[in-house]
Amino acid sequence: VIVNVLFPSGGCFCRSTFLVDVCACLCVLQIDEEVAKLLQLKAQIGGDDGKHQFVLKTAKGTRDYNPKQMAIRERVFNTIISCFKRHGAETIDTPVFELKETLTGKYGEDSKLIYDLKDQGGELLSLRYDLTVPFARYLAMNKITNIKRYHIAKVYRRDNPAMTRGRYREFYQCDFDIAGQYDGMIPDAECLKIVHEILSELDLGDFRIKVNDRRILDGMFAVCGVPDDKFRSICSTVDKLDKMPWEDVKKEMVNEKGLSEEVADRIGEYVSLQGGMDLAERLLQDHRMSQSKQACAGLSDIKLLFSYLQLFQVTDKVVFDLSLARGLDYYTGIIYEAVLTQAGAVPAPAEAQKGAPAEESVSVGSVAGGGRYDGLVGMFDPKGRKVPCVGVSIGIERIFSIMEHKAEVSEKVRTTEVQVMVASAQKNLLEEKLRLITELWDAGIKAEVMYKKNPKLLSQLQHCEESGIPLVAILGEQELKDGVVKLRVVATREEVPWTHGHTHKYTHSLTQQIPD
Amino acid sequence: VIVNVLFPSGGCFCRSTFLVDVCACLCVLQIDEEVAKLLQLKAQIGGDDGKHQFVLKTAKGTRDYNPKQMAIRERVFNTIISCFKRHGAETIDTPVFELKETLTGKYGEDSKLIYDLKDQGGELLSLRYDLTVPFARYLAMNKITNIKRYHIAKVYRRDNPAMTRGRYREFYQCDFDIAGQYDGMIPDAECLKIVHEILSELDLGDFRIKVNDRRILDGMFAVCGVPDDKFRSICSTVDKLDKMPWEDVKKEMVNEKGLSEEVADRIGEYVSLQGGMDLAERLLQDHRMSQSKQACAGLSDIKLLFSYLQLFQVTDKVVFDLSLARGLDYYTGIIYEAVLTQAGAVPAPAEAQKGAPAEESVSVGSVAGGGRYDGLVGMFDPKGRKVPCVGVSIGIERIFSIMEHKAEVSEKVRTTEVQVMVASAQKNLLEEKLRLITELWDAGIKAEVMYKKNPKLLSQLQHCEESGIPLVAILGEQELKDGVVKLRVVATREEVPWTHGHTHKYTHSLTQQIPD
């Protein structure tokens, strides 16, 4: 059609017009070709007009967990949950979405990252952004004044995903909180004991738990001469000290936040301090700090905290660090954060190395954090009744990333727990195999059989090796006649004959054979 | 202001105008009063202008799980997951939302029940409606041709909630599926074995597993004279036989679906049949059924299935029932459904009894269902490659309801697993208690201490009784001097002294004392 239009069969045309037309024509043909290619591509990746035309992907910033990832996830969860249970915690669950207004006004600027549901007629709903606000809502709604609970569940943030560094739009949070009016610092100390236990057991390498107190920070700002209305803003500048040198932090304080050099330098002296109970004692005597009632209350609590931490035998990893200033507005007392201290502890996966700056690959990450928030539940209570809370959140996604990387490098991760493969050496033994596997299942033994009538022995043994099944019970005609079954240890190829038909003997000697 | 307008201080007015004005004024005052009341009410239930003004509720059709419910949930999950693992299943997880188009065209009319997310710029997303479609998407996307996996996760349906009967808008599904090209009926039989194991272990009372085959249904409709285009519609009428007597089902077939009486009666003869392998054999000889290739293929498979079920020793509960006709379009072969057969097996909670009809309280519910769906994965594959699948879904919410009811009636549900309470008989023993509990925690023992410096012994013992802690270690000054700790069995008040300071002896004898 186009050709006909560009080369009219009649009429006059000069040479130059002809060339222009040819060019145009070629151009159009080229465009047509490109369009066809694009349409083909579109058809390949899926369009909207056919049956088999799906975009095969998960939503942006989310991922499936394959069986290997799930096996790692399960192992990490088991370690963490065991610890929570050892400390007498209960668990609760809340819906994945809340009334939109429940979340309103809790996250400041970050509220823009909340996923809203479409208004399909009915309530306005949003996906939960963390587990702390639903917990506070749960306490206020059920008028619960004390509970020790953990909650492990997915939360949702429309953040810029950085999936190669373990930042997703759908991710797990793993929270432990103690709510109730108790004597000072006992629950706070238990939270730190729990972080210590979990990080030790997960074997992620060396770590430190930094502690500070919101009241010490505020008191320090006051005695250094920071105007009241700049506390929060200066706090968030101090928070950058783990990523920026003091000079840059100071520059931000002076140039952007409008502090005088003198005030900034006073702050600088304090935030460089790290220590233990001794530091708290020293600061209680400090001529400036001692003028702030708030700071003194915080410092006394740090002293008390450390006395409990000594009894809990965890002071080796805990450091009182005046530069720790966690972002969340709702903290009212002690705050803490655990970091891995080994360089390279957080490995950068292959993809990240391409584009990201080099430091990323040796960045040492925060793997747990928390603090005391005595005011949040009151925000939900119609009468504003307060329920003091202290809690910790384990940075489970970062831990997954580390464990996944470890697993890739070193060990083979089993995705099933099968103990015995029921196999056959000859044909026509399916019935015998199903009879045997029924005995095993009914005795609580994890067992598999291939879904083929006559699989080759080799393929059955290969399956054992691939999926790490330690034992294989091999049925053969001769053995059936003799009333025995050969049991082979896959790794060593050692064989043990069993008397057939005596389930208990059977399963007993089997259980003896199974490696842990 | 209004009063001034209605009663101008100057100017002429006649009596009648005055009365009208008074009426109007009173009326307005009344309206004002009503408005004030409403505003007050609004303020009480929460508005948008105050700090403490929240509607304290979960979204419609959803619920929190409290610690007791979670303990029951965990127990049920453990039983089910153990069974899946015993059968060598892996597990996967998928995001809670999918691209909207992934779900499009999979659920027919029910698509209107899908929760969509708000378009906040980016992809159009919907909450998952079940776990089967995400599973098929996962297989096609990762080109997986065989896997045996389970997936336990929440799904979302904007259905009319009936929370007292366990129907929620957010609820768990618990799926086990075997994907892959295998020899006939071996995986299908294993699915039924799994249902048998799970329902037996959960101890929900007697049950039956009905089986049928989509091909037998279709073949039966064909030989009975149902027009091809009415198969699905007649199928859904047959599906009502578990709730309606045959007469009513027949009426619907004849009056609403337009079948002749003769055709309906033929169907009626077949759908009243129940049996085992013998019934399949008899129907293979049936003069009408034997004319349908499809029906014969299904019947042969039922025969083969029963031969495997005999080896698995589960035929006591499985019945071949020609009236079983599950709704979902995607089934292509065997279908099955497990029902509890004890009247009153599904108890009606107090709330339900108020309004719901009486039969509801004795309704016997389906607690598992599934079947073979060989075409679904192909719908996602760009080249339409098929991956045969068979699976089962455990009706976990109904099981929760039953277990919750049982727990309410009979036993005390523990919400923690604490084994030992570390208590003190006198004041000023907090340090000693924290030292002791550290030993216990570090030895892996689940232990609790009260977060008070000087709790009363009575309140510590009461806490043990309330939360079912079996043992209490009581520290006292005399015992500390003697280097022993009293260990008391809470239920019997028996006491055993321990030598203090020998952790291993300690924890060993402790472990001996702990009841299972």
Ligand-binding site membership of A488 (annotated)? no
Ligand-binding site membership of A30 (annotated)? no
Kindly report, residue by residue over A332-358, the tens digit of the pLDDT: 999 999 999 875 544 444 444 444 333
Kindly report, residue by residue over B282-310, the tens digit of the pLDDT: 999 999 999 999 999 999 999 999 999 99
Kindly report, residue by residue over A456-470, the tens digit of the pLDDT: 999 999 999 999 999
Kindly report, residue by residue over A244-253, the tens digit of the pLDDT: 899 999 999 9
Cα maximum dimension of chain B = 107
> CB distance from A137 to chain B under 8 Å?
yes
Q: Which of B93, B118, B378 sits opposite A118 (nearest CB)?
A: B118
> Strands across the sheet with B420-424, in order?
B447-449, B420-424, B471-475, B484-489, B495-499
Question: Looking at A203-207, A233-237, A255-259, A345-349, which range is the least confident one?
Answer: A345-349
Contact A67 B308 (CB under 8 A): no
Kindly report, residue by residue over B203-213, the tens digit of the pLDDT: 999 999 999 99
Q: Which residue has the higher pLDDT, A181 or A165?
A: A181
Ligand-binding site membership of B157 (annotated)? yes
Distance CA A485, CA A499 (A): 7
Q: Which of B44, B117, B313 sits opposite A438 (nearest CB)?
A: B313
Ligand-binding site membership of A48 (annotated)? no
Section A264-274 average pLDDT: 94
Contact A122 B154 (CB under 8 A): no
Kindly report, residue by residue over B398-429, the tens digit of the pLDDT: 898 888 888 877 768 899 999 999 999 999 99
Mean pLDDT of chain A: 84
Distance CA B66, CA B310 (A): 42
Could you tell me the CA-to-CA distances from A426 to A460, A465, A474, A476 in Å, in that order?
12, 20, 10, 6
Q: Which of B158, B193, B380 sits opposite A56 (nearest CB)?
A: B380
Residues of B in contact with A58 (CB under 8 A): 94-95, 98-99, 141
Which residues 302-321 of A have a C-beta within 8 angstroms of B?
A: 308, 311-313
- Kindly give the residue spans of alpha helices, DSSP state H, lying in B176-333: 186-202, 214-224, 231-238, 246-251, 261-271, 277-285, 293-311
Distance CA B491, CA B412 (A): 14
Residues of A in contact with B127 (CB under 8 A): 96, 117
DSSP state of A412: P
- Show the tokens assigned to A124: 């306005």
Q: Which residue has the higher pLDDT, B346 or B92?
A: B92
To the nearest whole angstrom, how far is the Cα of B340 from the nearest Cα of chain A? 22
Could you tell me the CA-to-CA distances from A513 to A438, A472, A498, A507, B301 in Å, in that order?
19, 11, 12, 10, 38
Ligand-binding site membership of B173 (annotated)? yes
Domains plus CATH for chain B?
Answer: 2-45 (no CATH), 65-206+386-413 (3.30.930.10), 207-340 (3.30.930.10), 420-513 (3.40.50.800)
| 3 state DSSP class of A469 | coil
* Beta carbons within 8 Å of A425's beta carbon, 6+ residues apart: A457, A474, A475, A476, A477
Distance CA B238, CA B217 (A): 10
To the nearest whole angstrom, how far is the Cα of B124 from the nearest Cα of chain A? 9
Section A289-298 average pLDDT: 96
> CB distance from A445 to chain B under 8 Å?
yes
Q: Sign of the CA dihedral B457, B459, B462, B466?
A: negative
Contact B451 A118 (CB under 8 A): no
Residue A207 dihedral angles phi and psi, to the nearest 5°: -150, 160
Nearest CA in chain B to A106: B51
Ligand-binding site membership of A353 (annotated)? no
pLDDT at A422 over 80: yes
Distance CA A321, CA B368 (A): 56
Section A202-214 average pLDDT: 94
Contact B56 A382 (CB under 8 A): yes
Distance CA A491, CA B97 (A): 43
Could you tell me the CA-to-CA distances from A345 to A122, A243, A339, B70, B429 in Å, in that order?
48, 16, 10, 35, 41
Distance CA B122, CA B125 (A): 9
Q: Which residue of B49, B111, B117, B438 is the best one to mutate when testing the A interface, meaning the one whose CB has the most A CBs within 10 A? A: B117
Q: Which of B62, B66, B118 sits opposite A95 (nearest CB)?
A: B62
Contact B90 A415 (CB under 8 A): yes
Ligand-binding site membership of A137 (annotated)? no
pLDDT at B49 over 70: no
Indicate the Cα dihedral angle A362, A363, A369, A371, nearest 10°. 140
- Show the tokens assigned to A219: 């008191």
Distance CA A249, CA A257 (A): 10
Residue with tokens 């108890």: B347
Residues of A in contact with B190 (CB under 8 A): 451
Q: What's the pLDDT at A111? A: 86
pLDDT at A490 over 60: yes
Nearest partner of A199 among A191, B312, B316, judged by Cα: A191
Single-letter code of the amino acid located at A209: I
**Which H/E stretch holds residue B79?**
helix B67-86
DSSP B3-27: HHHHS-SSS---HHHHHHHHHHHHH
To the nearest whole angstrom, how far is the Cα of A466 from the nearest Cα of chain B? 14
Contact B441 A116 (CB under 8 A): no
CB B289 within 8 A of CB B296: yes
pLDDT confidence bin for B47, thresholds 50/70/90: very low
Work out the burial of residue A289: count CB atoms within 10 Å of its CB; fewer than 13 is exposed, 13-18 middle, 19 or more buried. Answer: buried
Q: Which of A95, A178, A180 sits opposite B58 (nearest CB)?
A: A95
Contact A382 B99 (CB under 8 A): no
Ligand-binding site membership of A130 (annotated)? yes
* Beta carbons within 8 Å of B357's beta carbon, 6+ residues apart: none
Q: Which of A44, A379, A447 sits opposite B52 (nearest CB)?
A: A379
pLDDT at B23 over 70: no
Contact A158 B418 (CB under 8 A): no
Q: What's the pLDDT at B25? A: 42
Question: Looking at A26-35, A380-389, B11-20, which range is the least confident one?
Answer: B11-20
Question: Looking at A86-100, B85-99, B335-349, B352-366, which range is the least confident one?
Answer: B352-366
Which residues 9-48 of A have a C-beta within 8 angstroms of B?
A: 44, 46, 48
pLDDT confidence bin for B512, thresholds 50/70/90: low
Nearest CA in chain A to B197: A442
Q: How far apart are the first and last CA of chain A?
A: 75
* b/e burial code for range B44-60 (CB count within 10 A of at least 16 → b): eeeeeeeeeebebebbe
Nearest CA in chain B to A181: B451
Q: Sign of the CA dihedral B341, B344, B347, B353?
A: positive
pLDDT at A516 over 80: no
To the nearest whole angstrom, how far is the Cα of B44 from the nearest Cα of chain A? 8
pLDDT at A108 over 90: no
Mean pLDDT of chain B: 84
Q: B395 has which bridge partners?
A: none
Q: What's the pLDDT at A479? A: 86
Which residues 184-213 of B have a C-beta within 8 angstroms of A?
A: 186-187, 190, 193, 197
Ligand-binding site membership of A177 (annotated)? yes
Q: What's the pLDDT at A209? A: 97
pLDDT confidence bin for A361, thresholds 50/70/90: very low
Residue with tokens 């309206």: B31
Work out the burial of residue B347: count CB atoms within 10 Å of its CB; fewer than 13 is exposed, 13-18 middle, 19 or more buried. Answer: middle
Contact B92 A431 (CB under 8 A): no
Q: What's the pLDDT at A4? A: 33
Question: Looking at B56-70, B127-141, B254-268, B399-413, which range is the least confident one?
Answer: B399-413
Which residues 378-407 of B have a C-beta within 8 angstroms of A?
A: 378-384
Q: What share of chain B is helix, strand, coil (3-state, %, to 5)?
A: 50, 20, 35
Contact A70 B63 (CB under 8 A): no
Could you tell me the CA-to-CA distances from A86 to A90, B412, B466, B475, B514 in Å, in that order?
10, 20, 18, 20, 14
Q: Judging by DSSP bridges, how do beta strands B207-213 and B318-321 pair with one another?
A: parallel
Residue with tokens 């208690």: B433
pLDDT at B16 over 80: no
pLDDT at B348 over 60: no
How many percent of chain A have pLDDT more than 90? 62
To the nearest whole angstrom, how far is the Cα of A10 from the nearest Cα of chain B? 48
Distance CA B372, CA A467 (A): 26
Q: What's the pLDDT at B269? A: 93
Nearest partner of A507 among A479, A482, A473, A483, judged by Cα: A473
The ipTM estimated for the assembled molecules is 0.81
- Kindly give the residue spans of alpha helices, DSSP state H, lying in B87-173: 100-103, 132-141
Kindly report, residue by residue over A128-148, the tens digit of the pLDDT: 999 999 999 999 999 999 999
Q: What's the pLDDT at B281? A: 96
Distance CA B487, CA B415 (A): 23
Residue A356 dihedral angles phi and psi, to the nearest 5°: -75, 155
CB B242 within 8 A of CB B212: no
pLDDT at A330 over 60: yes
pLDDT confidence bin for A360, thresholds 50/70/90: very low
| 3 state DSSP class of A156 | strand
3-state secondary structure B46-65: CCCCCCCCCCCCCCCCCCCE
Distance CA B61, CA B127 (A): 15
Nearest partner of B186 among B298, B311, B88, B294, judged by Cα: B311
Distance CA B490, CA A41 (A): 72
Residues of A in contact with B65 (CB under 8 A): 92-94
pLDDT confidence bin for A160, thresholds 50/70/90: confident
Residues of B in contact with A448 (CB under 8 A): 87-88
Nearest CA in chain A to B125: A59
> CB distance from B140 to chain A under 8 Å?
yes
Q: What's the pLDDT at B4? A: 33
- Show the tokens assigned to B384: 């339409």
Nearest CA in chain B to A102: B54
Q: Which of B70, B96, B378 sits opposite A170 (nearest CB)?
A: B96
Could you tell me the CA-to-CA distances from A66 to A368, A410, B84, B223, B381 in Å, in that order?
25, 19, 17, 46, 19
> CB distance from A97 to chain B under 8 Å?
yes
- Show the tokens assigned to B223: 């030989």
Q: Which residue of B111, B308, B434 is the best one to mutate when testing the A interface, meaning the one whose CB has the most A CBs within 10 A? A: B434
